[in-house]
Structure 1
Amino acid sequence: MSKTSKIALAEALALGSNWRHLCYVMLYAPNPEVLFDRIPLRYAVLMYMRFDGRLGFPGGFVNGHSSSLEDGLSKELLNKLGDGASTFTMAPTDYRTSLADAKSEVVAHFYTKCLTLEQLQAVEARAPLANDYGLEVLGLVRVPLYSLHDGVGGLPAFLENSFIGVAREQLLEALQDLGILAPEIVSLLKERVARHKQLLGLGGT
């Protein structure tokens, strides 16, 4: 979405019937595994490759007949991720922020959901059987939360991919707010992203 602005949830829900509601979620789980016997992974965080080649969070437009945003999001997750998404329930407490785009009359609602590692692995295993897999969803990917010794490999390199909308910014903010990444690390990563965009001639942050 372009030229979005933050909006309170109550205000977003009071928008006219001509507005469409988009809901998506960052699924994550504590992960005790260690890479190369020396790099603690700590958490597994899921994103997916979209049909347009960009990275984003699973979700979709909520049907107006859904009883709540969370109910609509749960239905979208079943389509995008398959029945692995039936092992958990989206709740109002999982809600984070909303962004409104007046031009397109779309308001996007971002959620984060903490799963067990077994639940997250079930989502990964069953996603290829989902209705939208191979169509809107081209594959799931875990976000590398570490930086390698060269200072590039891991999360810095991952952030140089193309993301839909503000997904990259929302990823970093969520990782900080959830205590997964320290604020000073997030600040350094944001600076790196800004420099990368300038090199590509995209501008902005």
Structure 2
Amino acid sequence: MSDSEVNGGLVSETLPIPEIPKCLQIRTVMKSLTSYTEAQQFDNYRVAAHTCVWAPQEGASNFGQLRAAIMMHLRFDGTFGFAGGLIDAGEDVVAGVNREMAEEIGWSPTANPVTWSDYYNTHVDHNRQLVLHFFIKQLTLEQFVALERGALLASEYGNEVLGSVRVPLYTMENMYNGLPAFLNNKFVGTAKQQLLLTLHHLHLLTEEEISDVIYKSQNLKLGPNRF
């Protein structure tokens, strides 16, 4: 595959739209999903980029199978999201997302940068005139734990970011607590859809498991045994 320069960096000419499981082929996901190349036509839109940082984690806890450690954070507005933010005018997308991650979670772009090989997808929000690029970055579990600890020292901790969390990827015995309950939090923008797409892309949950989790999240939240 040939490469071409985009915003000062090497980017594949064809960054394909990823496979979307049937249970997530809903209007809010499919309508805004576009290829990286197609998104370039909206040159008057603001650009943002975010990254799902994750690490494989085998074994089980007292509450369920661990599968992986996935980092999200509680934002200043009370919603959950991924590290990242707006790209400055004229700034390379990859450079911008690394800068935002350094500010928000103490990320070290020089030690282990997010690159175009970590790119996953792009959404376009026409109402807000915003292009949203999403990356998925794998770490070792040791690197992940070190990042969690160092995030407390990030320049935006306590301001834009109010704390990092690991996403519970299990469902507990009452069929609601764990991931189904977590999905009933408020998420910013496309963060909830990106989380579920990431779980499918990384083969952490099967399409059937994702569909089951969505069902339980929507239908069991008022059950008498949810606590």
Same-fold status (TM-score > 0.5): yes
Shift of 1:85: 5.9
Instruction: Measure the CA separation in 1 of the matches of 2:125 and 2:143.
Output: 33
Q: Which runs of 4+ in 1 moved over 3 A?
A: 83-87, 192-197
How far apart, CA to CA, are the structure 2 residues paired with 1:69 and 1:98? 12
CA distance in 1, matches of 2:170, 2:140: 20
2:65·2:169 contact (CA, 8 Å) conserved in 1? no
User: What amino acid does structure 1 have at the position aligned with 2:53?
Assistant: L
Question: 1:203 is matched with which residue?
Answer: none
Letter in 2 for 1:71: A
Counterpart of 2:216 in structure 1: which amino acid?
Answer: R
CA distance in 2 between counterparts of 1:35 and 1:150 reads 16
Q: Secondary structure at the match of 2:175?
A: coil
C-alpha separation between the residues in 2 aligned to 1:168 and 1:155?
A: 12
Q: Is 1:143 aligned to 2:164, yes or no?
A: no
Matched, 1:126 2:153: no
Check the 8 A contact 2:175/2:216 in 1, yes or no: no
Q: Does 1:77 align with 2:138?
A: no
Residue aligned with 1:187, SS:
helix
Question: Could you tell me which amino acid in structure 1 is paired with residue 125 of structure 2?
Answer: D
The answer to whether the 8 A contact 1:45-1:143 is kept is yes
In the other structure, the counterpart of 1:41 is 66
Gaps of 5+ in 2: 1-27, 223-227
Trace 1:12-161 onto structure 2 (pairs within 5 A).
12-16=39-43, 18-36=44-62, 39-66=64-91, 68-83=92-107, 87-161=111-185
Kept in 1, the 8 Å contact 2:200–2:206? The answer is yes
Q: C-alpha offsets along residues 20-54 of structure 1, whole Å, 9 cap, x if unaligned?
A: 11100111101135313x83312100000000101
The answer to whether the 8 A contact 2:181-2:217 is kept is no
What are the superposed Cα offsets for residues 44-71 of structure 1, whole Å, 9 maximum, x if unpaired?
00000000101111100012232x3111
| 1:147/1:153 contact within 8 Å kept | yes
| C-alpha distance in 2 between matches for 1:170 and 1:85 | 23
Alignment TM-score, normalising by the size of structure 1: 0.86
- Which structure has more helix as a fraction of its residues? 1
Q: 1:126 to 1:59 in 2, by over 3 A?
A: same
Would the alpha carbon gap of residues 110 and 147 (structure 1) be closer, same or farther in structure 2, given more than 3 Å must change? same
8 A contact 1:84–1:119 mirrored in 2: no
Q: Which moved more, 1:57-66 or 1:85-94?
A: 85-94
Q: Deviations along 1:111-145, whole A, 9 cap, x unmatched?
A: 11111111111111011111110000000000011
SS at the partner of 2:143? helix
Does the aligned pair in 2 maintain the 1:78–1:86 contact within 8 Å? no
Structure 1: how far apart are the matches of 2:180 and 2:133?
26
- AA in 1 matched with 2:87: V
